[in-house]
Amino acid sequence: MLGVAYPLTGFIGKVHMPYSHKQITSKQYREIKKILLPGMAMCTQTRGEMTNIFIPGFWSHAAIYVGDSKVMEAVSKGVVVTDLIDFLLTKDAVIVKDPIFADRDQMIDAVTWALSQEGKGYDFYFDKSNDFFYCAEFLWLAYERTIGEMPFTKIDTMWGLPTVVPEDIVDAHKKWATRYDSRYDSK
């Protein structure tokens, strides 16, 4: 099944509807870069992506900022490090969330764990495995496995499995403080 699902899912993740994008501007990039600290989360939305159909809520992707203008994210090709500018230039909206349940040392511990997962595969089954991750799960486990803190206020069930989506990060106001939201910036 994975042999069939992987190419199809990877393909669907790259298909875009013919929308005009309102991408993150260079001014917004500079503002975001000024406030980012290693361990902060970024949830994004890219209009027109086919995967938006399957992910509930406005926010469809999550990543963790690891410092040095880099983010780590779980995408269809696996867990990768991406340059911040490349990450943001493909997005239409971004929200930066600060984990208020963790101190700065714990945030660094979460980043250290995240960096140790580079190259692991994508979790097409959404089953919270040790070797494969989807985007929100990757952020979930970075904090749960390093400091023992559940970084969300709820866990949904999808296909009978505990599942989190980027919207869960944004909605967990008692756990994550919003530091920037491009939807409210004049661009």
Please, which residues bridge with residue 156 across strands? Answer: 163
Within the chain, what is the greatest distance between any pair of CA atoms?
Answer: 46
Residue with tokens 């991750």: 133
Residue 182 near residue 88, CB atoms below 8 Å: no
* Range scoring the smallest mean pLDDT among 2-16, 64-78, 109-123: 2-16
Q: Give me the CATH code for the 2-184 domain, please.
A: 3.90.1720.10
* Mean pLDDT comparison of 19-33, 56-70, 129-143, 148-162, highest-scoring range: 56-70
Q: Which two tokens stand for residue 7?
A: 């190419």
121-159 burial code (b ≥16 CB/10 A, e <16) = bbbbebebeeebbbbbbbbbbbbbebbeeebbeeeeeee
How many Cβ atoms are within 10 Å of 116's Cβ, its own excluded? 11
Instruction: Specify the pLDDT at position 174.
Output: 92
Residue range 130-143: mean pLDDT, rounded: 90
Q: Is the pLDDT of residue 41 over 70?
A: yes
Residue range 152-172: mean pLDDT, rounded: 79
* Mean pLDDT comparison of 50-54, 98-102, 181-185, highest-scoring range: 98-102
Instruction: Specify the pLDDT at position 159.
Output: 65
What average pLDDT does the chain have?
84
CA-based Rg of the chain, rounded to a whole angstrom? 15
Confidence of residue 13 (pLDDT cuts 50, 70, 90): very low
Residue 29 near residue 85, CB atoms below 8 Å: yes
